[in-house]
Amino acid sequence: MKTIAVAIDGPSGAGKSTIARAAAGHLGFVYVDTGAMYRTIGLAVCRAGIALGQTERIQSVLDSGIQVSLKYEQGVQHVLLDGEDVSASIRTPEMSKYASFVSAVPAVRAFLLQTQREMAKTHNVIMDGRDIGTVILPDAEVKIFLTASAQARSKRRFIELREKGEDVTLEEVLADMKQRDHDDETRAAAPLKQAEDAILVDTSELTLEQSIAAVEAVIRPAL
């Protein structure tokens, strides 16, 4: 079967996952959240007692035979670590830091690459991440670079975290976001950057509904 792949890359907090999930639902595509996979490896590394920055110890976790897999229930992606559903545990500010930390390690990226490519071979996917259009699916039929100003992104993330009961300030969220942007953009392994053939969608001034419509408008001609 000829499959269609939509790659959506961009910095954290641009609304990628919410928008990609909604668009996938409307268009009948499978939504693949690759950030969740990095978060899951981050969780495994954290559980192994490895502190942020102890890069040389990460390989031992990969070698221990951990398994990161995806499961779909009513179209919703769940991510499993050795069979345990960790979808909720990976959504904390600490796991954001661990995800960013492990994602700079080439062996971690290589570990996840096959699973991500395999998904696109077997399903019509909307896959979001940082390097989908540049590294994972360079031949994707549609590539979108989804972004928004750091202020707009941190405000949205702040509201989301407060709704979940996290005790954070807007300043902390903005500082974390700027740090993660910097780390994601400057790392040697698959840095975050717009693919040459990606279409830029800036959601700073758009509502969620408008953002979803803008993304679907880019995708529809390829269907």
Is residue 203 a contact point for ligand C5P (CB under 6 A)? no
Spatial separation of the C-alpha atoms in residues 96 and 93, rounded to whole Å: 5
Query: Of the ranges 24-32, 34-42, 152-160, 202-210, which one interacts with ligand C5P (CB under 6 A)?
Result: 34-42
34 has binding-site annotation: no
Instruction: Please report, as residue ranges, which positions from 131 to 190 form the binding site for ligand C5P (by CB under 6 A).
Output: 131, 180, 184
Nearest CB to ligand C5P, comparing residues 123 and 153: 153
Q: 49 - beta bridge partners?
A: none
Backbone φ and ψ of 100, nearest 5°: -65, -40
Which residue has 């395999």 as its token pair? 118
Question: Looking at 23, 30, 35, 161, which residue binds ligand C5P (CB under 6 A)?
Answer: 35
Nearest CB to ligand C5P, comparing residues 75 and 106: 106
| Among the listed residues 115, 120, 124, the one whose alpha carbon sits nearest the alpha carbon of residue 29 | 124
10 has binding-site annotation: yes
Region of 7 (left: φ > 0; alpha: ψ -120 to 50; beta: rest) is beta
CA separation, residue 82 to residues 51, 70, 91 (Å): 21, 11, 18
CB 118 within 8 A of CB 24: no
Nearest CB to ligand C5P, comparing residues 34 and 211: 34
Question: Looking at 100, 124, 203, 211, which residue binds ligand C5P (CB under 6 A)?
Answer: 100
Query: Of the ranges 68-76, 125-133, 157-165, 196-204, which one interacts with ligand C5P (CB under 6 A)?
Result: 125-133
Residues that bind ligand C5P (CB under 6 A): 12, 34-35, 38-39, 96, 99-100, 103, 129-131, 180, 184
